Structure 1
Amino acid sequence: MKTVKIAGVPEHFNLPWHLCIENSEFDQVGIDLQWTDVPEGTGKMCQMLRNAETDIAVILTEGIIKDIAAGNDSTIIQVYVQSPLIWGIHVDARSEFNQLTELKNSTAAISRIGSGSHLMSYINAQQQNWETSNLNFEIVNTIDGAVDALQNSKADYFMWEKFMTKPLVDNGIFRKIADCPTPWPCFVIAVRNSFLKENESTIELILDIINNTTIEFKDIPSIDRTLASRYNQKLEDIQDWLKITRWSQKKLDKKTFDKVQDQLFELNLIEHKILFDTVVK
């Protein structure tokens, strides 16, 4: 049995992995796929890849491209979710902020530097024509940390996937004032190069299994109810999310890679550009 460590966020996007593990699909081909939930998100997973704490990460596209440009010795082997991530822009329910324009020069809660919440704060600021050099951040690690930061005025707003954050909105803890979709596919699968070099056939088997599941995922009987139950979501919210979410079984294309990298470079989030062929296999 080959042990493989994989990390991802504890969100509805990753249920296909858990179903495959629970159904022993990896076990049947001699792979002990050990999943680690990472509530801190992409910044933490980048660190885990660098430190060989995980072999594979299901990770935000912009975050891993930024970290590979900064020296993370990993490869993007496939797009996992083709559709954009819909980032909700949230404030404390009692906040005086009511419109996105009012958040200019305020403080964003982020899970950590290099995380999606960090990078998307820049994307949002650029779209609003704000001066990105004026952005202020409060590192909160997790969504629970963001609740504390907003309630205690350590930060003014928090960007996170809008469906996973919606229970906090429904419960009167957060108030969502805008959406900010990623301008590209949201999740990719990345592998440490040292692991990939020695285990290409194992990686291919893993991709075959997960891709067969994501192709049929929306057709699984009562999958909406399963998702709602597991991730503390209202059924109608999960149904709306399923309508707009598209999994992928394809490689990341150069056009998309260039779009992400060009925007990171324009925002001074990477110091130099890297070659597509050195990052994507």
Structure 2
Amino acid sequence: MAPLRVGFVPEHFSTPIHFAQAHFGLDATLIPFPSGTGHMITALRAGEIDVGIGLTEGWVAGLGKGDARPEFGDGGYRLVGTYVETPLCWAISTGAKRAEIMSVDSLKGGKIGVSRIGSGSYVMGYVLADEHNWLVPTAGAGTAHESAPPYSDFVVLNTFANLRDAVNSGAADFFMWEHFTSKKYYDSGEIRRVGEIYTPWSSWKIVAATGLVGDPRVDELLAKLDQGIAYFNENQEEAVKYISTVLDYSEEDAREWLKTVRFPEKTAGVDPKVVESTVEILVKAGVLVQGKGMQPSAMIAKTR
């Protein structure tokens, strides 16, 4: 059988995937998606990849919205595994010289840069708005999902480089991206940090195309990832070297990140309570609509 095509985000979190292939013979074609989870959802539904390793909120929102084309009425994928147990710290960034933007409060009603509609950077914009009480119900609305948009525009920019350019040109006022990936550009002075927000859920999940649920190759992939994670935990210096050379982070930032992240011993399966709480928060934040779209239990192919 052909090797699985596995989409992943080529950042520091991908180190155990690299170790699984380098040291344990992971037989898969690894396809980088620097623009993130939203792009992987599109690729899964188009049959371009078989498995995706990405952000919890992106996967859950993609299934929960129920807005796929009719031929993807089943959502196109299911949750099969857990890749990271810890929350993700999203840094909130603006342009280096945007003197009018000095605090998170000044972002209300502004232009938010996102990689794609439905991506983690898009979803977290609503979570941020909910935390700061920016979701104002529209006339006659009785629930949060009928709120007016908290921002004047969602500017779709695809890549991290485009997001950084946009906040400096004024095309967008701010964007959110993972803390350590952003930090290098704070240190260089290219962009400026405004604040941060943590996901209220464990941050990374593994999904498989619906037609591959139960395929033994998926089980083998998860087992190889377990080996890569165990190696990562036992060989932190090798991880630091890889992250600070191949992935272009500083050694200092790589070591700091290692203190904050925890991968599971076993990647197979997803805790239904995590998905239920994610859906609950996304409904409250206005990303999903109560009672519409796929229900949490239907999103999960493998429970733990």
TM-score class, shorter-chain normalisation, is over 0.9
1:78–1:189 CA contact under 8 A, matched in 2 = yes
Aligned to 1:269: 287
Q: How far apart, CA to CA, are the structure 2 residues paired with 1:202 and 1:118?
A: 32
Cα 1:141–1:221 change in 2 (3 A) is: closer
Gap runs ≥5 in structure 2: 67-72, 136-147
Aligned to 1:2: 2
Aligned to 1:260: 278
Partner secondary structure for residue 23 of structure 1: helix
2:20–2:227 CA contact under 8 A, matched in 1 = no
Q: How far apart, CA to CA, are the structure 1 residues paired with 2:29 and 2:10?
A: 14
Q: Which moved more, 1:243-252 or 1:88-97?
A: 243-252
Aligned-residue offset at 1:56: 0.2
Match of 1:171 among 173, 188, 200: 188
Deviations 1:112-149, CA, capped at 9 Å, x for gaps: 10011000011011111112623221111101111221
Match of 2:172 among 155, 164, 169: 155
Alignment of 1:114-263 (within 5 A): 114-131=118-135, 133-135=149-151, 136-197=153-214, 199=215, 201-220=216-235, 222=237, 223-248=239-264, 249-250=266-267, 251-263=269-281
Aligned to 1:109: 113
Q: How far apart, CA to CA, are the structure 2 residues paired with 1:44 and 1:68?
A: 14
| TM-score of the pair, normalised by structure 2 | 0.86
Q: How far apart, CA to CA, are the structure 2 residues paired with 1:99 and 1:73?
A: 39
Partner secondary structure for residue 170 of structure 2: coil
Aligned-residue offset at 1:221: 5.1
Please tell me the residue identity of whatever aligns with 1:219: E
Please tell me the residue identity of whatever aligns with 2:5: K
Partner secondary structure for residue 166 of structure 2: helix
Please tell me the residue identity of whatever aligns with 1:54: I
2:87–2:198 CA contact under 8 A, matched in 1 = yes
Please tell me the residue identity of whatever aligns with 2:76: D
Partner secondary structure for residue 249 of structure 2: coil
| TM-score of the pair, normalised by structure 1 | 0.92
Please tell me the residue identity of whatever aligns with 1:90: S
1:12–1:231 CA contact under 8 A, matched in 2 = yes
Q: CA RMSD in A?
A: 1.6
Gap runs ≥5 in structure 1: none
